[in-house]
Structures are given as structure tokens and as C-alpha cells.
Amino acid sequence: MANQEAAGPPSDFIRDIVKEDLRTGKRGGRVCTRFPPEPNGYLHIGHAKSINLNYGIAREFGGRFNLRFDDTNPVKEEQEYVDSIIDDVRWLGADYGGRVLFASDYFEQMYRWAVELVRKGMAYVCDLAADEVTAYRGTLTRPGRDSPYRGRPVEENLDLLERMRRGEFPDGSRTLRARIDMASPNLNMRDPVMYRIMHAPHHRTGGAWCIYPTYDWAHGLEDSIEGITHSICTLEFENHRPLYDWFLDALGIHHPQQIEFARLNLMYTVLSKRRLLELVQEGRVRGWDDPRMPTVSGLRRRGYTPEAVREFCRRIGVAKFDGVVDIGLLEHCLREDLNRRSPRVMGVLRPLRVVIENYPEGRAEEVEAVNNPEDPSAGVRRVPFGRVLYIEREDFMEEPPKEFFRLAPGREVRLRYAYFIKCIGAVKDPRTGEPAEIRCTYDPATRGGDAPDGRKVKATLHWVSAAHAAAAEVRVYDHLFTKADPDDVEPGQDWKSNLNPRSEEVLTGCPVEPGLASAGPGSRFQFERLGYFCVDNDSRPGALVFNRTVALKDPWAKIQKGHRAR
Ligand code: ATP
Ligand code: MG
């Protein structure tokens, strides 16, 4: 796999366009890209793809990358979202040069340009209500009809626009529209709305404005003002490109090139801010940063690294057609990265008590454990061992089937870094009939995990000494949805009917090795044999909380091996 990773700089159709523009000296041989989120929700992994693409291009071609909030709709936008987005962009490692830009800072300039278009007869004030505008617009097969206000004299338009701005008219009573072509085959060109009246305070401009620009009107202007060269967006804006171009040409100002690429879709989750907001508002998850959420803050809390997210973005690449990416690839990138960097520790999720009968009462010793076999510089640590231990419940079976090699009556196994133990009996819970405690003997000659006589065991178990263990809450996650496509629903149901009721399992009282008691939020570990875990934000000294980031097994690596073998 390493050979694939060592591939050269990324190459795709957008980078080809940029290279060609640099070769021909278009737009002064400059490169400036931007990431333009609307602050109406937290960022998700789809946004990470866009950030990685825009920032990556700026970096590779010696250009600039802008972080600009497209804050043109005061009703849905909040400072909380602005703050979270800045955090997430930083965490992803995109360098926006310390400048946070806001579309709302350009409102005055946008307004002046609107006046200019009115003067040129290219925009007019329309008194139709929203539903009338829709009715007049026509359909894909039927041309639209001219608004009765389309022929308004310039002077009257200027006066009405000015009064719209001053707040003389109620919400929805008038709009400013571009005067383009009501018969255009492209519906976006049928006199689109540029300004709507909204008497709503804005999170940055307060009460200064009561008319707000639409996305189509504002976006190209924002790009132009900032000297963006390549305005990269998702495919749903392809039909808007003629309008993007029309506004900039009508004003004769700097004209970036809009380029569309396929948005990221991911199996077993949803990537839509509107839907994610619904999950948060309905309390279906712990919040925007719930570790099950595909949000950047959720991934971070879950234990993802920015490196893993970037590697995932690099591997999925950039294309012009929509597809759905297997979430297994994201998890694979995560495991690869965590495998390199995570210290190994031992913890038990579902404990079963083991008493070693021939180990002296009251004796305690420490065994030496390797911190990271992938990284010798990580060194070793000492882990306490004792007469009473916990092992994983599923590592013992009273009547094991043929293929079960772990602990069973009469069976000998290795305890990692410690000794061979042999099961000599099980004490049952009288109520449930389930094993409550296992009785074992140990072989003192096997200290460190090898038998001097060369005898072999078929299993190595992780364990924690009962007398020394710290107790932790561990939250184990599964996919947020039960179906790869959450929109695949029964008649009459909606996407939320596919929410996975077992997406979070909370285990309490899990014994973990004592060295973890002081681990702070965000610290990541591999729990031997179990997976990767990180300390949750909810964790406190004395009340440890871990998230399981991802299990150890990696179906994706197997798939890839299969492909290479062929
Ligand atoms: P959502 O569809 O989740 O509501 P959005 O497109 O409305 O997201 P914006 O804040 O407008 O959210 O997005 C900022 C940028 O991120 C845009 O350039 C948009 O094209 C890009 N983007 C949004 N979703 C994805 C995605 N799934 N994959 C790639 N890029 C995306
Ligand atoms: Mg959008």
C-alpha cells in the first residue's frame, strides 16, 4: 500500500485547468481559491473535501487560499457556526493566511453594483410576491412570462430600490430582479431575484440592512472582489454558471472562472447541513460534534486525525460525476494513520474475573509492555500484574467449538507481556448460569510470554489487573444509519427511519490499565486486540470516558490485497 501513497502530487481535471491557465498567463498567472461556507451549520466531511481541494491547489501552485463566509442570509446564520467553522478549517490544516473574510463586508459594494445595473436597464424592482414570481417563471417545457413591472422606468426603479434599502416596505413585498430573458431554456436566467426584503438582524451587520442579496447575485461579486481566479463549487451550480458569468460581464469587473466538481457522498451517513441540523435539533445525537456525526467536529471528537481526513480526500480524488464513497475507505485511512502513531495499551470492554490460584495473595509485580511496535522510539512501559485479573468475556467459552482457540477449561493461553495461564474451572452465576469467575493457574517460568520448554499456545489475551485498574466508560459506535443509502426507505417513511438504534453503545466500569487514569481529552490509544480509542471531551479525572474511534479489523485492506493479487 505504501507505494500507492508515495504517488506524486495530485492530478485531476481542475488542476489541469489551473496548469493551463498558468502556462498561458491567464489572469496574470495568479492562483487564488476560496472556501465559501454559509455559516448555517457545522462543516462535514464533504466540506473537508472542498477545503482540501481549494487549499491544495493554492498551495501547489504558489497561490492564495481565502476563507470567506457567505453570510448573506441572516435568518439561518449564527456566530456559533462561524466559530466552529474557523476551528475546523484550522484543524484540517488549511492555511487561510490569518484572514477571515465575510461577504457581509461587501454589502455596500454589492448595492452600488446593483444600482449600476438598474441604471443600465439590466435590473428592475418587481412587485410580484414570491409565489407569483414562481408562477411567472414557467417550467422547463414552458417559457416564462414577463413580470408586469419589467418595463419600469430606470428612475422609478432607482427610487424604489433606495426605499427598499431604507426599510419602507414589508418583507416579501418587492424584489430587485435582473432583467435577462424570461424565455431562456435555463430557468436560472429568467430574471432571477437579486435582493429580497428581510427585516432581520444580521449576526455581523446588525440592523444596517433590511435587503439581502441572493446567492446567485452575491457569489460572483464576492469572488471578484477578492480576486479569486478559480471559483470551485459542486455540480449543482453548473446551471448557475451562465448567471455567474452574466453578472460579472454586465458589470465588467474581474471575472473568475467557475469550475464544478462532484460533491462527496458517503455510505451510511448523510452529508447535508439541513439534515444534520435536524438530527441535532431533534436530539437524535449528542450534538453537532457527536462522534457518530460526519461533521468535522464529530470526526475530531471521535478520534480522527487531520492527516487521516486529508489522506482520504487525496485518495477519493476529484471528478465530474457523482458517486458514493464507501465509508470503509475513510476508516481504512484512519487505521493506517492511527496504527503508526497510537500508543498501545490494554483495556477490557466486557470484563470477566480471573483468579490465579497459585499466584501468591498480596503479591504484585510489573511486566514490561511495548508502547508501539510500529515505532521503537516510543519505548516501553510497566504494567501491574496480580492474582486477580480481568479478561474479555468473549475470550472464554465453557464449551468451545472447534475453531475457538482462546481460554476454555483445561486450555492454556498467553496473557500478553505476562505469563501462560491455564483454566482449571469456572464459577457460575447461580442466577444466569453464565460464568462469573474463571479459576486458573499460571506458569512462573513463562514470564514475559514465552515457555522455556518451547511449548506453544494458540491465543494471546489482553488483560488488566483488578487491584490496579482504572474504571472507564467506553462508548462504542456503529454507523449512524442501518442502510448504505439512508434514502432507501419503505413507502411512507423518511430517511430518519433508517437511523441505527444501536449506533451508540455505552459500556461502563470497563477496567483499563492504571496509566490511562490521567489521559486528557483527545488522547488516542490502541487498545490491544480491540481497536483505536480516544478520550472524550466529557472525560474528567476519576470519571474517564473513551470513544471507540474504529475497530481493528480492516475489511478495506483485504479488498485491496485481493485487487492486487489479481
Ligand atoms: P449542504 O449541502 O451540506 O447544506 P452547502 O453546499 O449548502 O452544504 P455551503 O456552506 O454552501 O454548504 O458549502 C461550502 C462549500 O462546500 C461549497 O463550495 C460547496 O460546494 C462545498 N460542499 C458542500 N457540500 C459538499 C460535499 N458533500 N462535497 C464536496 N463539497 C461540498
Ligand atoms: Mg450550498
Task: Determine the pLDDT at residue 553.
Answer: 84
- Which one of the listed residues 263, 286, 350, 439 is annotated catalytic? 263
- How is residue 70 annotated by DSSP? -
Order of strands, sheet of 193-197, starting from the edge strand that comes earlier in the sequence = 123-126, 175-178, 193-197, 211-213
Using one digit for the tens of pLDDT, what is the confidence trace for 202-233? 999 999 999 999 999 999 999 999 999 999 99
What residue owns the CA closest to ligand 1's atom 26?
46
263 assigned to active site? yes
Alpha helices in 95-203 (DSSP H): 107-119, 130-137, 154-166
pLDDT at 62 over 60: yes
- Contact residues for 249 (Cβ-Cβ < 8 A; gap 6+): 255
Evaluate if residue 254 carries a pLDDT over 80. Answer: yes
- Residue nearest ligand 1's atom 22 by CA: 47
Q: For 325-381, write each residue's pLDDT tens digit.
A: 999 999 999 999 999 999 999 999 999 999 999 999 989 899 999 999 999 999 999
Instruction: DSSP letter for 154, please.
Output: H
Instruction: Give the tens place of pLDDT for each residue, 66-110.
Output: 999 999 999 888 899 999 999 999 999 999 999 999 999 999 999
Kindly indicate the confidence band of residue 4, based on its pLDDT and cuts at 50, 70 and 90.
Answer: very low
d(CA 6, CA 316): 15
Q: What is the pLDDT of residue 77?
A: 82
Does the beta carbon of 50 sit less than 6 angstroms from any atom of ligand 1?
Answer: yes
Question: Quick one: cell of 352?
Answer: 470477566
Strands 435-443 and 351-356: parallel
Active site residue 38: yes
Q: Which atom of ligand 1 is nearest to the CA of 265?
A: 27
- pLDDT tier for residue 10 given thresholds of 50, 70 and 90: confident
pLDDT at residue 3 tops 60? no
| pLDDT tens sequence across 382-433 | 999 999 999 999 999 999 999 999 999 999 999 999 999 999 999 999 999 9
Q: Does the CB atom of residue 275 touch ligand 1 within 6 A?
A: no
Please give the number of the atom of ligand 1 that sits closest to the Cα of 276: 3
pLDDT of residue 566 exceeding 60 = no
Whether the Cβ atoms of residue 535 and residue 521 lie closer than 8 Å to each other: yes
User: Does residue 249 have a pLDDT over 60?
Assistant: yes
User: Alpha-carbon torsion 195, 196, 197, 203, what sign?
Assistant: negative
Q: Quote the pLDDT of residue 9.
A: 78
Decide: 213 in ligand 1 pocket, CB within 6 A: no
Set 38, 162, 437, 504: catalytic member: 38
pTM over 0.75: yes
Q: Reply yes or no on whether the pLDDT at 7 is more than 80.
A: no
Section 23-43 average pLDDT: 96
- Domains for the chain: give ranges and CATH numbers: 2-261 (3.40.50.620), 273-343+473-565 (2.40.240.10), 349-461 (2.40.240.10)
Q: 464-465 and 470-477 as β-strands: parallel, antiparallel, unpaired?
A: unpaired
Q: Is 413 helix (H, G, I), strand (E, B) or coil?
A: strand
Beta-ladder partners of 473: 545
Q: How far apart are CA 243 and CA 542, in angstroms?
A: 59
Q: Is 132 a catalytic residue?
A: no
